Structure formats: structure tokens, C-alpha cells
């Protein structure tokens, strides 16, 4: 799609570039480049997609990452079928991308601050990281989703993605969990950074994409 020249422009552009976090397989960058094949009033399928995160207790996943005994694995996101986990709050939307994007200057960098309220009924909980999902709007009211509250029935094409924390964070009931997520874009790669700032601060994970990135 970077080098091909279409003989004429299309009415509809259909793609399947979605990753478990929506944009983590460079769908925005790919479709931004491919939209030159589309008429000005053309339709992209999907028309948009949104990523979601949810704080989780995941002792086994955390111990599997910890067993590597290095920093790199704690700053890497993993696509994994989750079994022995507990969701600690409902998932919140993070990043949304819309196609086609007719802005003069396209910028796929994103930042989102999120606040989760842990249920008062659970007692103190350990947050080992975050489960990531996506919801894609294919066209009008037709959606494709792995986000738990809107998940498409009987669809197993995508597992969730797991963003670990280097150290689990204990959250007492009723206290907010404040989380920051970045989608960063460089000249040769795209990467995520994440951290917790409340109830206690964590380091920023994966600064400058030092451990985990996707090449452009």
C-alpha cells in the first residue's frame, strides 16, 4: 500500500489491520497511507476503533513475566488468552481513530489519563497490570468488539492484550486508581508508555520505546 498506484479511486476501502488493542498493529499508519486510494466521499470499513483498558489482578501472568528476571519483559505488552484473572473495575476507553482522516496534518500520537474506582465490596486489591481490548465500528451500527461489555458473541480471532506493572500496586476500597497511557510515534517505530500516579506512583514503563515497539 506504500508503493502501489491504484488505476482509479475506490468507493469503499475494506481492511483487517486491527490488533488486540485496536491500533497496536499500526492500523492508523497503514490506513492513513492507503486512504489516497479512496474517493473524497468514500467509506472506510472499519470507520473507527477505540481501545480500552481495565485494571486486573493477575497473579499467574505477573509471575510469568517476573520469571524472566529482567526489565524488558515488564515493559512489553502481551497478547494472551486470560484465564485466572479478576477485573477490578469496568474498562475505560483510551484511544480512538477514525478513517478516513481528512485532516491536513495527521498526528497519531495519543495521551489519556484515566481514573478507575475500585469497588468498596472487594477490600484491598493488588493491581498487577491492565487488560486491553478494542471495539471497532465497521459501518454505521455494525460493531466488532472484544471489550467485555460489548463483546461480539462467539468471536475468538483476538485475545486481550496485557500491560504489566513492574511492581503490583495495592489499592484500598474507595480510593481512585489513576493511570496514564501514551501512544508515541517516532520516525521508525510506534510504542506505548504507561504508568500509575495514584494511590502511589509507579515508574513510566517503556520510556522512548526502549523495550517494546512496532517498527514502521
**Range list of β-strands (E), the chain:** 10-14, 38-45, 48-57, 78-79, 86-87, 92-98, 110-117, 125-139, 142-145, 161-171, 176-185, 189-198, 214-215
Has 25 been annotated as catalytic? yes
Handedness of CA 94, 98, 103, 108 (dihedral sign): positive
Contact 78, 161 (CB under 8 A): yes
Which position among 16, 105, 117, 178 bears the catalytic label? 16
Which position among 8, 25, 147, 193 bears the catalytic label? 25
Handedness of CA 16, 17, 23, 27 (dihedral sign): negative
Centre a 10 Å sphere on the Cβ of residue 139 and count the other Cβ atoms it contains: 13
Distance CA 118, CA 92 (A): 13
Number of helices (H), then strands (E), belonging to the chain: the values are 3, 13
Residue carrying C-alpha cell 481513530: 97
Length of the chain: 216
Residue carrying C-alpha cell 484515566: 114
The alpha carbon torsion through 195, 198, 199, 205 (nearest 10 deg) reads 10
Has 147 been annotated as catalytic? no
Active centre residues (catalytic):
16, 25
Amino acid at each position: 500500500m506504500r508503493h502501489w498506484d491504484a488505476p482509479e479511486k475506490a468507493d469503499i476501502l475494506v481492511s483487517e489491520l486491527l490488533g488486540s488493542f485496536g491500533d497496536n498493529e499500526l492500523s492508523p499508519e497503514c490506513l492513513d497511507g492507503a486512504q489516497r486510494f479512496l474517493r473524497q466521499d468514500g467509506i472506510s470499513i472499519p470507520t473507527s476503533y477505540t481501545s480500552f483498558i481495565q485494571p486486573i489482578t493477575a497473579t499467574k501472568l505477573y509471575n510469568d513475566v517476573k520469571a524472566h528476571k529482567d526489565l524488558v519483559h515488564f515493559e512489553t505488552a502481551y497478547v494472551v488468552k486470560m484465564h485466572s484473572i479478576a477485573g477490578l473495575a469496568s474498562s475505560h476507553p483510551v484511544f480512538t481513530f477514525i478513517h478516513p482522516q481528512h485532516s491536513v496534518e495527521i498526528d497519531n500520537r495519543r495521551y489519556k489519563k484515566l481514573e478507575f474506582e475500585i469497588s468498596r465490596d472487594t477490600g484491598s486489591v493488588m493491581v498487577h497490570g491492565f487488560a486491553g481490548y478494542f471495539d471497532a465500528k465497521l459501518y454505521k451500527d455494525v460493531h466488532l468488539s472484544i471489550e467485555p461489555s460489548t463483546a461480539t458473541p462467539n468471536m475468538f480471532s483476538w485475545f486481550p492484550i496485557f500491560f504489566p506493572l513492574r511492581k503490583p500496586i495495592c489499592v484500598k476500597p474507595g480510593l481512585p486508581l489513576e493511570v496514564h497511557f501514551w501512544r508515541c510515534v517516532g520516525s521508525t517505530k510506534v510504542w506505548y508508555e504507561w504508568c500509575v500516579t495514584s494511590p502511589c506512583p509507579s515508574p513510566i514503563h517503556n520510556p522512548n520505546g526502549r523495550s517494546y515497539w512496532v517498527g514502521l
